[in-house]
Amino acid sequence: MACARASKKLLEIMQSMRNSYRMNRLDLDYLGTFLTVIDCGSFTAAAERLGLSQPAVSLQIRQLERRLGTTLIERVGRKARPTAAGAELLAHAPKIDAAVGAAIEAVSHHAAGDAGRVRLGTGATACIFLLPPLLGELRRRFPGTEITVTTGNTADIVKAIEDNLIDLGLVTLPAAGRMLEITPVLEDDFVAIAPAEMALPARVTASSLAGLPLLLFEPGGNTRRIVDDWFAGAAVPLRPVMSLGSVEAIKAMVGAGLGCSVLPGMAVPGGTLPGITVRPLSPRLHRRLAVVIRRDKRLTRGLRAAVETLRDLAAGQAAAIAATSASTGPNS
């Protein structure tokens, strides 16, 4: 019995909530009809202006009055005039109209692709050396779009995309996921860097680095894994003296004479660094970067254009990186 009474009480509460929700809703079409009747001064004239029948206009007014629980219009002679309650509603009409207009205008910017949000994820190196010109172009083309950037390793970025926390990513391959569309956009050759006073061969091999103090990226990301595999392929034991999370920190340590490193070429703009020797690797070592997005991601026009712009500009950057890599030589 107690359970039955509790269930009945719960149903009564839910019904009360539904009734309250219905009472608090205001049909904007009915409100517009009310304003037209007051403006025209009659139901007949309002019906003509709205292109409705007079019974339809009367029905909408009755439904609005029923919703609000009070009479809104009264006849004074041949004129339809607002009651005291109707006058109160009439006073709020400009605010309601302004709020609705502002909401429609705000949404229209999204529909036109002039506004929206692009959440981009990438690695720290790409964020520093590749993204600035890309983001600048996006900002120029879509000034109303909110652009946010999150940095992390490939696994973190891919998971965030799968969880819809990020819209698209620029990551180091490999990356995998059944729900992902993965588009390679550039190859980035690695280079060896060392203090200017440290002698390096014209083309650096894993063996030539074996006896030198190495400063590398922290383990866990694809970039470090690629470097580890390169040394493993040459059967050279890898014992870095430092593992750092920042490419700029690594370059600063090398510049201070604390050791040498193997870095992505994009971290060495133009193939040169002050006070640092830059050399190509032998055999060649490179990584592939790709744009990643969910296959089922609903693309607004703004987001679609952002993805296309990112791919196009990354392709242009790839050509610049390739030219820099080709020019890197023993005198760098």
Residue 332 falls inside a structural domain? no
- What CATH number is given to the structural domain containing 176? 3.40.190.10
Q: Which two tokens stand for residue 23?
A: 């009472």
Q: Which two tokens stand for residue 58?
A: 């009367």
| Mean pLDDT across 191-213 | 92
| Per-residue pLDDT tens digits for 7-22 | 555 455 445 444 444 4
Q: Looking at the whole model, is its pTM more than 0.75? A: no
Q: Which DSSP string do the residues of 134-151 spell out, in sequence order?
A: HHHHHHHH-TEEEEEEEE
Q: Which DSSP string do the residues of 83-109 spell out, in sequence order?
A: -HHHHHHHHHHHHHHHHHHHHHHHHHH
CB atoms near residue 7 (< 10 Å): 10
H/E run at residue 65: helix 54-68
Number of domains in the chain: 3
Beta bridge partners of 288: 187
Which of 77, 110, 143 is at the close of a domain? Answer: 110
| Per-residue pLDDT tens digits for 294-319 | 999 888 776 777 788 777 767 776 66
Which of the pair, 70 or 137, is modelled with greater confidence? 70
Which of 110, 128, 161 is at the close of a domain? Answer: 110
Same domain assignment for residues 175 and 300: yes
Range of the domain at 10: 2-110
Closest CA to 97 of 23, 34, 53: 34
Which of 51, 81, 110 is at the close of a domain? Answer: 110
Q: From the centroid of its chain, how far is CA 274?
A: 36
Same domain assignment for residues 167 and 141: yes
Residue 145 falls inside a structural domain? yes
Q: Could you give the CA distance from residue 154 to residue 96 in angstroms, rounded to a whole number?
A: 48
Residue in this structure with the two tokens 């009734």, named with its chain if needed: 19
Same domain assignment for residues 205 and 260: yes
